[in-house]
Structure 1
């Protein structure tokens, strides 16, 4: 395929692929928010001495980390309707991504919380702070600084994981790329273009990660 043909192909494909990339970005951000909302309470539940909360949280993390994300999507979208629970493709995809990300984020945060020296807890108790006050005002700020790199890596991986939602007919970058290939019969340049778009999106989130790390480090240094 010559250069003029490639230019014509990309000129035709660009609007469609960029639209798909927009959907990918929206799904990734929505799943990030869902994962954070699930990850924080799960991490806290796992460090509490109450088995009534710690055991279900641990089971959730084990199941989500121990099974493939693709299988989780199939269970939610294709399996649950058999018991009367139905989701639209978009809802099922974002739910699966959020549940999966929440499990990994909770482990990052749990490890960061447990890395804070126990002396921080005892010092806070000696000042009259309770458990929840110590966790919120003393431990979590320190834990977040430690957890940001690993949590950010999990969130950035969501950009790539969104490619899996094409299997449940969600419109996003990978599905639009496949549709273009079906009409143009040019898989190599189009798949390479899709890879480049995923890379650019990931680079954008990596930039945000570095800024967040610098901000937290400056705040800690004060």
Structure 2
């Protein structure tokens, strides 16, 4: 408890930054991941190729390398000025969206083809068919893997500490500089991460219970 009381301000600031990183990246990756999933199942070959290429490249690129590009290399292009926090959000969003895309696409594939054919027979466009018929059904089956992906995103925020972002991952650096017991300090970090994961798990269970379908 001595470490927690002595460095309470550090823990509050660091985990506050971690939560901000997670929320921004979660919203961005959910939106971008859904768009990419739509591209992957699009009847237009160019759109399918674009979505497939993006997912293949990003999923096979180390997250640390994505961080390095957007925190250090991208600002040198002088297109858009990004501070380390903004660069971390962009890196996490682009990386996680590739995994969310595959989760949503797998959910789309669970919807019977007849649903899409009936929608097209009624005169719905591809976009109307996806948003009104397919995606609502697909989301019911992808809640567990989707929440698992978001939990992975939460843990991946610690990588930002190596790129000048004062999140939870940076706590160990401060403790090491002050000669504190690293095992105890990191145990508290792990404990607070568990507390952050619990709400996500509860949301997953609530949605599964609400959307449960008798098979």
The TM-score normalised by the length of structure 1 is: 0.89
Uncovered stretches (5+) of structure 2, i.e. residues with no partner:
none
Structure 2 residue 85 is matched with structure 1 residue 95: no
**3-state SS of paired residue (1:87):** coil
Per the alignment, do residues 56 and 30 of structure 1 end up closer, same or farther by CA in structure 2, a change over 3 Å counting?
Answer: same
Q: CA offset at residue 19 of structure 1?
A: 2.3
Say which SS state the counterpart of residue 184 (structure 1) adopts: coil
Matches within 5 A, 1:4-43: 7-43=1-37
Q: Structure 1: 5+ residue runs without aligned partners? A: 1-6
- Is 1:170 the counterpart of 2:165? The answer is yes
> How many residue pairs end up in the alignment?
213
Looking at structure 2, the residues matched to 172 and 44 of structure 1 have their Cα atoms a distance apart, in angstroms, of: 33
Taking the aligned partners of 1:9 and 1:125, their CA distance within structure 2 comes to 62
- Larger Rg computed on CA atoms: 1
CA-based RMSD = 1.7
Aligned counterparts of 1:204 and 1:56: Cα–Cα separation in 2: 35
- How big is the shift at 1:197? 1.0
Cα displacement (A) at 1:10: 2.4
Match of 2:45 in 1: 51
Q: Aligned ranges for residues 129-208 of structure 1 at < 5 Å?
A: 129-208=124-203
For the 8 Å contact 1:181–1:190, the answer to whether it is kept is no
- Kindly report structure 1 stretches of 4+ aligned residues shifted beyond 6 Å: none
